[in-house]
Amino acid sequence: MNKRAFLQTAAALAALASLGQAQAQTAIKFQLDWRFEGPAALFLLPAAKGHFRDAGLNVTIDSGNGSGGTVTRVASGTYDMGFADMAALMEFHANNPDAPNKPVAVMMVYNNTPAAVLALKKSGISKPADLSGRKLGAPVFDAGRKAFPIFEKANNVSNVAWTSMDPPLRETMLVRGDIDAITGFSFTSLLNLEARGVKPEDVVIMPYADYGVKLYGNAIIASPKMIQENPEAIKAFLKAFAKGAKEVIANPAAGIETVKARDGIINVALETRRLQLAINSVVASPDARREGFGQVNPGRLALMASQVSDAYGTKTRINPTAVWNGSFLPTAAELNVLPAAR
C-alpha cells in the first residue's frame, strides 16, 4: 500500500470511529429551572468542557421558566432530566397521584432552599416577628411564598397580608413602598434590589434555612422512563456534572464564561456574584458539608415532605421515598466537590 492510499484508509477508519462514537452517545434533553444566569454555570461548564461528551452523552441544555414547569416537562417526556426545586417535585407527586411518569430526584444540588424574606431596613423590619401584621409580596408560584406557612409557624408570625405580582415587579414594589417585604431566592432578589439602586447594607435578608426552615432546594431530576431504560446514562451524567461542579466552585469566573456563551447580553460581574452567592448560601452550606454534596438525610427529607404537604395543601400526603432515588450517585471521592470550610 502506498503512502497516499494508507493515509486515505487511515482517514476513513478515523471517520468511521468518530461516527460510531457519535452514534453510541446517549442523547439527554435537560431543562434548567430558570434563565441562563450565574448558577446555570454548574451545568453549562461541564457541557462546554466536554465532560458529558466524554461520558458518552449528548446533552442539550435549555433554559426554564420555573421549577414547576421543569417538573411537568420531565413528567410529560419532553425532557429526560432537569433541575427543579424539591418542593415543586413533591407537590407534583402529591397532586398527581395517578400520573404514570412522576419524575424522581437523583442528586441534591441546593442542600438548602434559597428562599428568604427580604425587607428594607427603613421599614423597621429586622427579624421575623416584625413581619406580623405587615404586607408581603411575591408571585403566587414563588417557592418562598408557597412555603411561607412553614416559616410563619417556625417563627410565630401572624396576620400577614399578601400582594401578588409578576416576577419583574416584585423588587420594584418593595423599593416603592407598596409592600413591606418580599419572598424570593436570596441571591436573586438581593441583586435585583441593588439593580434598583438599593445598597446591600440597607437590605434585611432572612434566609429560611437560618430561621428554622430546613427545606431542601433544587435537585437534579430524571424521568421514570430514563431510570428504567438507561440507568447507566444517569450515573454517567451525575459523575460528569459533579466533576464540572467542582471546577465551577473552584473558579466561578470560568463558569460564567460558559453562561455568557449561551446568553451574550448577561452582566458578567453581576452573574459572577450571583453564582458565588448561590455557592456560599446553598451549595456549600453547613448542611451540605454535614450531609455530603449530592445527598439527602432521610429524616430531614421526611420532615420536609410532611411540612410541604401541610403548607401546600396537597391532595395526598407526600411519600418521601417516592421522590428520591440516591442509587445513581457517584462515589464519595467523586462527590468531594466542596472547598475546605473557611
* Orientation of helix 41-48 relative to helix 231-250, angle to 10°: 100
| Last residue within a domain, chosen from 178, 211, 244 | 211
Which phi and psi (to 5°) does residue 180 adopt?
-90, -25
With respect to residue 101, please indicate whether it lies within any of the assigned structural domains: yes
What pLDDT does 341 receive? 78
Question: How many residues are present in the chain?
Answer: 342
Alpha carbons 44 and 62: distance in angstroms, whole number = 10
Do 222 and 106 share a structural domain? yes
Look at residue 11 and tell me if it is in a domain.
no
Write out the three cell numbers for 65.
Answer: 421558566
Look at the pTM and tell me if it is higher than 0.85.
Answer: yes
* 292 and 177 housed in the same domain: no
Q: Is residue 340 part of a domain?
A: no
Q: Is residue 4 part of a domain?
A: no
Residues 98 and 119 in one domain: no
Each of the 342 residues of the chain gets a pLDDT tens digit; together they read 555 554 455 454 444 444 344 447 999 999 999 999 999 999 999 999 999 999 999 999 999 998 999 999 999 999 999 999 999 999 999 999 999 999 999 999 999 999 999 999 999 999 999 999 999 999 998 999 999 999 999 999 999 999 999 999 999 999 999 999 999 999 999 999 999 999 999 999 999 999 999 999 999 999 999 999 999 999 999 999 999 999 999 999 999 999 999 999 999 999 999 999 999 999 999 999 999 999 999 999 999 999 999 999 999 999 999 999 999 999 999 999 998 877
Do residues 317 and 220 share a domain? Answer: yes
Tell me: do 242 and 226 sit in the same domain: yes
One domain for residues 101 and 128:
no
**C-alpha count within 13 angstroms, C-beta hemisphere, residue 104:** 21
Domain count, the chain: 2
Q: Kindly state whether residue 88 falls inside one of the protein's structural domains.
A: yes
| Residues 227, 254 within the same domain | yes
The answer on 96 and 72 residing in a single domain is yes
Listed residues 211, 242, 266: the one ending a domain:
211
Q: What's residue 14's pLDDT?
A: 47
Which of 170, 196, 211 is the last residue before a domain boundary? 211
Burial of 37 (0-12, 13-18, 19+ CB in 10 A): buried
Question: E strands, the chain, where?
Answer: 26-31, 57-62, 81-85, 104-108, 115-120, 135-137, 161-163, 181-185, 203-207, 218-222
Residues 69 and 157 in one domain: no
The reply to whether 15 falls in a domain is no
Task: Specify the CATH number for the domain of residue 164.
Answer: 3.40.190.10
Phi, psi of 127 (to 5 degrees): -150, 165
Domain membership of residue 120 (yes or no) is yes
Q: What is the pLDDT of residue 24?
A: 72
E strand map for 187-321: 203-207, 218-222
Distances (CA, A) of 70 to 29, 41, 144, 164, 183: 12, 18, 17, 22, 21
Domain that residue 272 falls in: 23-111+216-328
Same domain, 94 and 224: yes
167 and 230 assigned to the same domain: no
What is the pLDDT, as a whole number, of residue 340?
82
